[in-house]
Structure 1
Amino acid sequence: MSAEDLENYETDMELQLYREYKDVVNLFSYVVETERRFYLANHVDLKARSADGEVYFDVTLQDAWVWDVYRTARFVKNVRIITFKDVNIEELSKSEDLTIPKDAGMGH
């Protein structure tokens, strides 16, 4: 497989993921962004925790969809995220137009 073939394959996969996102975004109530992933979810529980003087975030999602081109199953019943970086959680308005986060993996 040439580098161009691989790039075309990744572009096609990202386009398919974008189309899936458009189809499912209205099924969810929240957008959750971490340093590694982008999620849609219907329930979000965020807890700031501390251990050995370090602050971290413990995030639990229920009924979620994961923005990850390499996952075959993007719908997940429960997700637990432990991160030392910021977590951005936004409540979706059902009447809002579709928007894609700037760093959702499109356009490497």
Structure 2
Amino acid sequence: MSAEDLEKYETEMELQLYREYRDIVRQFSYVVETERRFYLANAVDLAVRNTDGEVYFEVEMTDAWVWDMYRPARFVKHVRVMTFKDVNIEELDKPDISLPDDASFGT
């Protein structure tokens, strides 16, 4: 496999991953970004730990989806991540109702 073929394959995998993300993002309540991964989750618990003067973060997520094109299964029941870098957690807006994109709705 040439370098060009590998790059084309990785580009296609990233596009498929983005499409999957776009299709499922509304099913989740939180976006969690760590130094290594990006997650969607329905429950998140963040704990700041201090061991021998070293501060680290422990993040536990339930019903999660992992942005990782190399994982064969991206849906995970429970995830626990430990990191020494910052963790970004955002709660997603959940609209009460969403209308179809089709402009002919109701006609």
1:36: Cα distance to partner? 0.1
Structure 2: runs of 5 or more not aligned: 96-107
RMSD (CA atoms): 0.6
Q: Which residue of 1 aligns with 2:44?
A: 44
1:54 maps to a residue whose letter is: E
Task: Describe the SS at the equivalent of 2:16.
Answer: helix
Residues 1:88 and 2:69 are matched in the alignment: no
What is the correspondence of 1:29-108 to structure 2 with a 5 Å cutoff? Answer: 29-95=29-95
TM-score, with normalisation over the residues of structure 2?
0.87
For residues 43 and 3 of structure 2, the distance between their equivalents in structure 1, rounded to whole angstroms, comes to: 40
Task: Describe the SS at the equivalent of 2:81.
Answer: strand
1:48 maps to a residue whose letter is: V
1:94: Cα distance to partner? 2.1
Q: Which residue of 2 aligns with 1:13?
A: 13
Q: Which residue of 2 aligns with 1:27?
A: 27
For residues 59 and 12 of structure 1, the distance between their equivalents in structure 2, rounded to whole angstroms, comes to: 30
Task: Describe the SS at the equivalent of 1:58.
Answer: strand
1:4: Cα distance to partner? 0.5
Q: Deviations over 1:27-76 (max 9, x none)?
A: 00000000000000000000001001011101100000000010010000
Structure 1: runs of 5 or more not aligned: 96-108
